A and B are shown apart, each in its own frame.
Chain A
């Protein structure tokens, strides 16, 4: 009986202690995409051991929680990009405190006054906007204020299977790949590639996919100095510049110079299986592809893997479309302790920007971008240029994810011959302008 009494007393004390400790702890709700990897990294706090976007972000948050006993970041993991869920949360008045938002989506929430301008909060922990790279500042600044703390800059890249490039005779004397300097050269090199390797030059994810079309359109319009978004509420796509781009991609498609009918994951697997020379994919796969190239027996291990920004095919500005991820903070009533906890987390992530940059994304912090440690990471010497070449759409352009769908649908139809190029561009322009005209 006495033993039972002791057990009960100890249990009650333990519960009270735990309740008291939970009451002291500041709870912050964080919502993110980048996938789930709890089985592998659910309890890992050694960030250096983590790889990939999911592994690194999970380990960073674990580390923050373990080194800040007074704060608990509870994580909700959403499917990319997670905006439908976020909209519902905002509409229900229950948004997360901290949330991943693309720079291209910030305007949507900022114009509705749903996000907190972060300049003051960041200043309280010693972060000022000028500490971020120009690309990161440009992407996250709306109406002169940072509406998200930029954590990276990303862009589409030319991921190259060097073995196939060597077989195609498209390698310089120093072993680097030869890239085209005009649309005509691109077609000629791609035909040469196909003739010598029997494989398509490009691995593109074209099926059930809209992002690639949009990003590439923007990139090649920038390269032609097309001012297609002179008015952020009106796009101009019925232009010779846009037509030049679509016809170039249509030729690539018609001549079988790209893989067809592959969705994102199938295209990724096809490139890793050595089914094409250049995979058009983002910065986020650099780490994984590099690891593959170091694994004996893989297609990328045969002759090597390299990665570059898009080649300059036109005579205009040397630019390519870039976007970035940010930590945004919702407008919500909070205690001072909660605001301090959020600021502390942002500072922690800022300080660990190098770790996040190991994913392949370019760092948002200028000091990290300039550091030898970052430059020593694989392939950073070639993709570093994206920090300067990267160019977002004008900050006031809203619903960029919705525009992506419209543009992707229409260009996809033109490229595969389901629609004449002029009709597709006119339709894309009409649909985008209808959307932006009815905000």
Chain B
């Protein structure tokens, strides 16, 4: 035993060291890796909620890409990501820049802007339903003051997704703002002092010092938000049920519909794999672009 200990040493490759990561590894394998491969396996089978049936090859994928609702849901998801991610990044950055001070007002406003992030999706959508509901909602009341009729945001094919995006931005703005604030507070003060000595104005300081210094955080915010917003589900389900005419049905809602409401688990698994690939490609592209820029 003692010779063994001597041979491996304190930093040696003793297999028992692996025990330290065993608990994590167990949950990682059982809750992430196994379901990932099981999902892939299911996507090649005709499976329902209570049984996994025959191997059907790529049939589920063929059905999937022949289903215009699925194609619509892919478009909807990208459209939603396009509506929300840039807005979250820009508004989050603007708020962070505006509130990056130690004044009491800034502290209160920071808490206020972050407070919506702690609400659950149920509460958030309830609040926004009260805003959007035709005839009796806040929007109708405001329009009513001017003698106008409010648009039926959640039932209008052109406005429904914008309504959901607005709800989401209101809900999620806290995290990007806090990440940007943390990044802004990491920038050394002497750089700003040097800029001030060089008579650099606010705009020049922002463009030449602040934004380049928080570039990595900007990329991080974009990646986090792309991954998060690709998984849109609760807001759509609770505000519009994916309607009107499937125009607000994102991929996750499509998967839920197919796998759990129609019991077509094989097709749902195939759609899940497509979503997985999309998120992976989007996040990796973002990551590689930012890395290449940094290397230059």
Q: Which residues of A contact B (CB under 8 A)?
A: 83-84, 87, 90-91, 108, 112, 114, 206-210, 260-263, 266, 269-270, 275, 399, 401-402, 405, 409, 412-413, 416, 418-419, 427, 431, 434-435, 438-439
Judge if B226 is at the interface, Cβ distance under 8 Å: no
Q: A412-B245, A419-B245 are known contacts. Are A207 and B261 too (CB-CB below 8 A)? A: no
8 Å CB contact of A438 from B46, B69, B154, B257: B46
Q: Distance in Å from the Cβ of B279 to the closest Cβ of chain A?
A: 24
- Report how far A409 CA is from B241 CA in the complex, Å: 10
Q: Which of B9-17, B76-84, B262-270 contacts A (4 or more CB under 8 A)?
A: B262-270
A90 x B155 contact (CB < 8 A): no
In the complex, the answer to whether B63 meets A412 with C-beta atoms within 8 Å is no
Residues of B within 8 A of A91 (CB): 49-50
Task: Knowing A266-B134, A409-B246, say if A427 contacts B68 (CB, 8 Å).
Answer: yes
Known: A84-B260, A405-B261, A431-B69. A266 touches B136 (CB 8 A): yes
The 0/1 profile, CB within 8 Å of A marked 1, for residues 45-66 of chain B is: 0101111000000000001000
Check B50–A412 contact: CB distance below 8 A: no
Determine whether the beta carbon of B263 is less than 8 Å from that of A108: yes
Contact B264 A438 (CB under 8 A): yes
Contact B262 A207 (CB under 8 A): no
Distance (Å) between the CB of A299 and the closest chain B CB? 14
The complex places the Cα of A266 from the Cα of B140 at a distance, in Å, of 13
- Check A269–B243 contact: CB distance below 8 A: no
List 4 tightest A-B contacts by C-beta distance, closest first.
A261-B152, A413-B245, A261-B155, A207-B155
- A261 CB, min distance to chain B CBs, angstroms: 3
Residues of B within 8 A of A427 (CB): 68
Is the C-beta of B175 less than 8 angstroms from some C-beta in chain A? Answer: no
Q: Are B50 and A114 in contact (CB under 8 A)?
A: yes
Report yes or no: B240 in contact with A208, Cβ–Cβ below 8 A: yes
**Docked pose: A91 CA to B156 CA in angstroms:** 38
Query: Is residue B234 contacting chain A, with contact meaning CB distance below 8 A?
Result: no
Number of B interface residues at 8 Å Cβ cutoff, please give it. Answer: 32
Name the distance in Å between A52's Cβ and chain B's nearest Cβ: 22
Closest chain-A Cβ to B201's Cβ sits at a distance in Å of 50
A84 touches B245 (CB 8 A): no
Do A90 and B136 contact each other (CB < 8 Å), given the known contacts A401-B261, A418-B244? Answer: no
Point out the residues of chain A lying under 8 angstroms from B46, CB to CB. 438
Please give, as numbers and ranges, the residues of chain A lying within 8 Å of B67 by CB-CB distance.
431, 434
CB distance from A42 to the nearest CB of B (A): 23
Give bound CA distance, A83 to B51, whole Å.
Answer: 17
State the CA gap A416–B244 with chains docked (Å): 10
**0 or 1 for each of B219-252: is its CB under 8 Å from A? (1 = yes):** 0000000000000000000011101111000000
Residues of the A chain whose Cβ atoms lie less than 8 Å from the Cβ of B239:
208
| B135 located at the interface, meaning its Cβ lies under 8 Å from any Cβ of chain A in the complex | yes
The contact of A399 among B63, B246, B262, by CB within 8 Å, is B262
When distances are taken between beta carbons in the complex, the residues of chain A under 8 Å from B241 are 208-210
Return the chain A residue nearest B243 by Cβ. Answer: A208
* Contact (Cβ within 8 A) A269 B155: no
Say how far A435's CB is from chain B's closest CB, in angstroms: 6
Judge whether A207 and B63 touch: CB under 8 Å. Answer: no
Q: How far is the CA of A208 from the CA of B133 in the complex (A)?
A: 12
> Contacts A207-B152, A207-B155 known; A418 to B245 CB distance under 8 Å?
yes
B133 contacts which of A90, A210, A266, A439 (Cβ < 8 Å)?
Answer: A266
Given the known interface contacts A261-B155, A266-B134, A399-B262, the answer about A439 and B48 at a Cβ–Cβ threshold of 8 Å is: yes
Q: A413 touching B244 by the CB < 8 A rule?
A: yes
Closest-by-CB residue of A relative to B264 is A438
Q: How far is the CA of A419 from the CA of B244 in the complex (A)?
A: 11
A112 touching B50, Cβ below 8 Å: yes
Closest to B69 in A: A431
Tell me the nearest residue of chain B to A270, going by C-beta: B135
Whether the Cβ atoms of B68 and A402 lie closer than 8 Å is no
Most buried by B among A90, A108, A413, A427: A413
Bound Cα distance A399, B244 (Å): 22
Residues of chain B in range 19-60 having any CB-CB distance to chain A below 8 Å:
46, 48-51
Q: From residue 177 to 224 of chain B, which have CB atoms closer than 8 A to chain A?
A: none
Of all chain B residues, the one with the shortest Cβ separation from A418 is B245
Judging by beta carbons under 8 Å apart, are A435 and B69 in contact? no
Most B C-beta atoms less than 10 A away, residue of A84, A208, A399? A208
Tell me the complex Cα distance, A289–B34, Å.
Answer: 53
Inter-chain contact A412/B244, CB cutoff 8 Å: yes
Q: Is the beta-carbon distance between A84 and B244 smaller than 8 angstroms?
A: no
The docked-state distance in angstroms from the alpha carbon of A262 to that of B152 is 9
Set of chain A residues within 8 Å of B154, measured between Cβ atoms: 207-208, 261
Task: Mark interface residues in B149-162 (1 if CB within 8 Å of A CB, else 0).
Answer: 00010111100000
